[in-house]
């Protein structure tokens, strides 16, 4: 009887409810991530995301190539959308650990080219996540609102963890093939 109730509840739960639960659990998810995680067709996911947004249950922001979805209660969708991307997230985490830092220190610390750091820093400043200060002849970067960034990073920890697990899975798969 118990097993039948579980199966019935899974059958009765609509794709819309599953998508909403996923967005609540995984803030800043984009369309393909939701599709791949839940196993629905892209059209089904698009339709229900549109309906959830019209109903006011979720909201979305488009940053460059991705539209990221959030539960309507999320505090700062701009920070969440940045923290969902690897390079900006690495820059923000570096700044949390080494604040304030120069452009060169950030590039050396996370292993990205200077031009890549410049590109991401410009976006982080536009989103008011990072601010600049001057120390002598150097420009240093620091977080505009450290506590807000930390709170939002905590909301994205499942995304960060999933990325780490996926990277490790790729490494183990490559080793297993050899």
Average pLDDT of span 115-144: 90
Q: What is the pLDDT of residues 1-53, one digit of tens each?
A: 554 444 544 555 789 999 998 988 887 788 899 999 999 999 999 999 999 98
Q: Identify the structural domains of the chain with CATH numbers, from first to last.
A: 1-74 (1.10.10.10), 82-148 (1.10.10.10)
pLDDT at 8: 46
Average pLDDT of span 56-61: 82
Helices (H) and strands (E) in the chain, counts: 10, 6
In what side-by-side order are the strands of the sheet with 58-63? 29-30, 66-71, 58-63
Of 163, 172, 165, nearest to 33 (Cα)? 163
Give the pairing type, strands 29-30 and 101-102. unpaired
Q: Which has more confidence, 24 or 178?
A: 24
pLDDT confidence tier of residue 91, bands split at 50, 70 and 90:
very high
pLDDT at 79: 72
pTM of structure: 0.56
Cβ(124)–Cβ(144) below 8 Å: no
pLDDT at 104: 93
């Amino acid at each position: 009887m118990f097993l039948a109730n579980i199966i019935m509840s899974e059958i009765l739960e609509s794709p819309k409810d599953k998508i909403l639960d996923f967005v609540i659990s995984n803030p800043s998810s984009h369309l393909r991530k939701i599709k791949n995680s839940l196993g629905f067709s892209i059209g089904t996911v698009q339709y229900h995301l549109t309906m959830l947004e019209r109903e006011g249950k979720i909201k979305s922001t488009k940053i460059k190539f991705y539209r990221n979805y959030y539960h309507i209660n999320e505090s700062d969708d701009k920070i969440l959308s940045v923290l969902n991307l690897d390079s900006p997230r690495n820059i923000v985490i570096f700044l949390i650990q080494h604040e304030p830092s120069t452009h060169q220190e950030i590039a050396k610390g996370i292993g990205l080219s200077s031009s890549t750091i410049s590109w991401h820093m410009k976006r982080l400043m536009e989103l008011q996540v990072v601010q600049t200060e001057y120390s002598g002849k150097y420009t240093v970067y620091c977080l505009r609102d450290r506590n807000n960034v930390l709170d939002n990073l905590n909301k994205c920890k499942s995304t960060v963890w999933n990325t780490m697990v996926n990277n490790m899975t790729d490494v183990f798969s490559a080793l297993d093939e050899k």
